Amino acid sequence: MTQIYTQNDLVRYVFKETTKEEESGIEDELLVNNDLIDFYIDASEVTRKLKELDLEPSEKTVQAILDYSRTVGVHS
Amino acid sequence: MKKYLISDGGLISLYIKGDNEAFRELVERHKNRVFTSIYLIVKDRARAEDLLQETFIKVIDTIRRGRYNETGKFLPWILRIAHNMAIDTFRKNKRYPVVMMEDGNNVFDTLEFAEEPVENKKIREDTVEKLRNLIQDLPENQRKVLIMRSYLDMSFKEIAESTGVSINTALGRMRYALINLKKKMKQNNIVYDPNLYPK
């Protein structure tokens, strides 16, 4: 029986939560299904963009963390 | 051996044995990711800074007490700690505070970026600001799934269990989040330009 892949399956594919078998099936489906390929392109673009939202804390906060890591008696 | 080549677990083992530089490497490696995930929940920079500190303090204390699970993965663990703290804070402060500086600028404007050409830096800052706003404007259910998957590294199964819905519902919410974000990105002219992000 041929597996039918939905946009929800594609979401799992974009976030790498599919099995190898599903991956292969979805990739075959993407070659022939225009709705799926359109969604895949949009979803990929958005997730790439989301990865770029990379905010940096202040040096002061980082230093406070490092100071604490040195002053607390961790070491056995 | 160069610290950046060592796994997170390896760095923690070194830290336990007395290597403070190993912990520094761990902080440098993950601070942005943890900070970003906190910030997207609490929407206030000063609070996010405090929570980042509290998160790492909890990490250090857990390691100190010998309660760190060495078979687990460090990043999902610290992200979960950060998320729980951020959610608790968000619930206590249900307003959306906007912290303004004396000159009238939002503190978000003070974010520092690595050295890069001025034009690229400005474009990148504008894009980050716009993208942040678009995420905040999503319906809560969609925003939650988006943050949990994209920034807290939770699987859809974990998201479903955490939010009390089926995996299909969680996937559907992510699907709509992506569709809505794409629509808004197009309206706001936010496009992916690999030249601006040389990672």
- Per the domain annotation, does A57 fall within a domain? yes
Residue B82, pLDDT score: 93
Mean pLDDT of chain B: 82
- Per the domain annotation, does A1 fall within a domain? no
- Per the domain annotation, does A33 fall within a domain? yes
Residue A72, pLDDT score: 62
What pLDDT, in 10s, does the model give residues B112-130?
333 456 666 666 667 777 8
Residues 7-36 of chain A whose Cβ lies under 8 A from any Cβ of chain B: 7-8, 11-12, 15, 17
Contacts of residues B16-23 at CB distance under 8 Å and 24 or more positions apart, as own/partner, are B16/A74, B16/A75, B16/A76, B16/B63, B17/A75, B17/A76, B18/A75, B20/A66, B20/A69, B20/A70, B23/A66, B23/A69, B23/B60
Average pLDDT over residues A6-32: 94
The whole-angstrom separation of Cα B145 and Cα B165 is: 11
Domain boundaries for CATH 1.10.1740.10 within chain B: 3-89
Using the beta-carbon criterion (under 8 Å), do A74 and B16 form an inter-chain contact?
yes
Residues sharing a CB contact under 8 Å with residue B13, sequence separation 6 or more, in sequence order: B70
AA letter at A50: L
AA letter at A45: E
Using the beta-carbon criterion (under 8 Å), do B179 and A55 form an inter-chain contact?
no
Domain boundaries for CATH 1.10.10.10 within chain B: 93-196
Tell whether B171 lies on the interface with A, counting CB pairs under 8 A: yes
Query: The tokens 């910030």 sit on which residue?
Result: B39
Cα→Cα distances B6→A70, B19, B30, B68, B189, Å:
20, 13, 14, 18, 40
Residue B128, pLDDT score: 75
Residue B133, pLDDT score: 86
Residue B145, pLDDT score: 94
Using the beta-carbon criterion (under 8 Å), do A65 and B32 form an inter-chain contact?
no
Average pLDDT over residues A60-64: 97
By CB atoms closer than 10 A (0-12, 13-18, 19+), residue A16 is exposed
Residue A61: domain span: 7-75
The whole-angstrom separation of Cα A48 and Cα B81 is: 25
- Per the domain annotation, does A13 fall within a domain? yes
Query: The tokens 């490696």 sit on which residue?
Result: B29
A11 has a pLDDT exceeding 60: yes
- CATH number, domain B93-196: 1.10.10.10
Q: Residue B40: its chain A contacts at CB < 8 A?
A: 53
- Per the domain annotation, does A40 fall within a domain? yes
Tell me yes or no: is domain B3-89 CATH 1.10.1740.10. Answer: yes
- Per the domain annotation, does A66 fall within a domain? yes
Per-residue pLDDT of chain B (199 residues; tens, 9 = 90+): 566 789 999 999 999 999 999 999 999 999 999 999 998 888 888 999 999 999 999 999 999 888 888 777 899 899 989 988 988 887 776 544 444 444 544 444 444 333 456 666 666 667 777 888 899 899 999 999 999 999 888 899 999 998 999 999 999 999 999 999 999 988 887 765 555 544 4
pTM score, whole prediction: 0.73
- Asked if B156 and B169 touch (Cβ cutoff 8 Å), the reply is no
- Asked if B70 and B15 touch (Cβ cutoff 8 Å), the reply is no
Tell whether A41 lies on the interface with B, counting CB pairs under 8 A: no
